[in-house]
Chain A
């Protein structure tokens, strides 16, 4: 077995309490424990994180390759979902 067989992991780092984990990058590691240690050494050498998730890249399901595809279209024609869609008389407060 060579390093090519070490699976790929995606690394998510919470930079500080109160924020969500954000994708930082990826790395190869033989198992989850090593993936965590490698992620610590690779992505938090300067205190960039207080918590790390590692996820096998193969376990991620992604939407279609084309990020502009019809998958996201249902949202495009519904401007009424945004507060700015509505006209409110001048001077009305707390709305």
Chain B
């Protein structure tokens, strides 16, 4: 096992400016990636590889913690104690997933505080899906089934990502996401089999979440600016369109079992390809939401900043308590 500690100090610094040495390190890096070995924190890696990972892991981590908001919105109004306990556990899991990912980013030499700063100041993004509102209780089910379902489809290949700490975080996350998806499906099923009003509520939620869920896989392959390089580095293992198709193929029969329809008149089985054909995605909407013009962009980031500011006293009190009781020697920052 590799110990983790020393990884975090100046990961690039040890190698200096020696160009001849760098070429050799680069060959070793390329060979490791080609051989499907994992890159570990203190290995030499190209600056662009490091930057790509930090960007992707940060975006992923931010999505986990921003993603707590639309669902937490319904905790106080969950229809039963059982559903409430489940939803609390799920939202707590999302916080945990954020922490796993911030830790993974930290192994690349980028601190959590820096990433949070960039989130709060809008310099780093989170998944656009969380800029949509949760209007009814059924939305909690639709998020679990569709949003977490799309996330799982995206994340399973990431368990084999070339960067070790990210891959390990994803293994843990994928195990836990499975509960998220199943609770959402069960919730929708209960509504779908309930009163006509409940059934309609479930259908309405699916109608609103279906297209944004398909957008979660990112722009089409030929318009995705980072995809090719990420595939070459084996950070990304499957293309956006491939994953999107896989997700559609999985969802259609699941929707049938729910007794709900997917809001796409062009959806049909293509015998020849062995896949479902689906209609055109409204990419204008995607880019608008990404630019900050979604229904909840402002609300999400405001709430995030407020939570951070209101938590300041806890961070300060924890630090003061540590100094008082141990002289603050628990662990000097690596």
Contacts and interface: CB of A to CB of B under 8 A. Distances in A.
A65 interface: yes
B333 A5 contact: yes
Contact of B3 (A27, A62, A66): A62
B6 A7 contact: no
Interface string A4-41: 11111110000000000011011111111011000001
A60 B8 CA distance: 12
Contacts of A35: 330-331
B206 interface: no
Interface residues of A, number: 39
Interface string A38-63: 00011001100000000111111111
B113 A4 contact: yes
B330 A32 contact: yes
A77 B44 CA distance: 26
Interface in B223-277: none
B316 A1 contact: yes
Most chain A CB within 10 A, of B14, B172, B330, is at: B330
B331 A2 contact: no
A49 to B, nearest CB: 13
Contacts of A60: 3-6
B333 A7 contact: yes
Interface in B1-29: 1-8, 14, 28
A87 interface: no
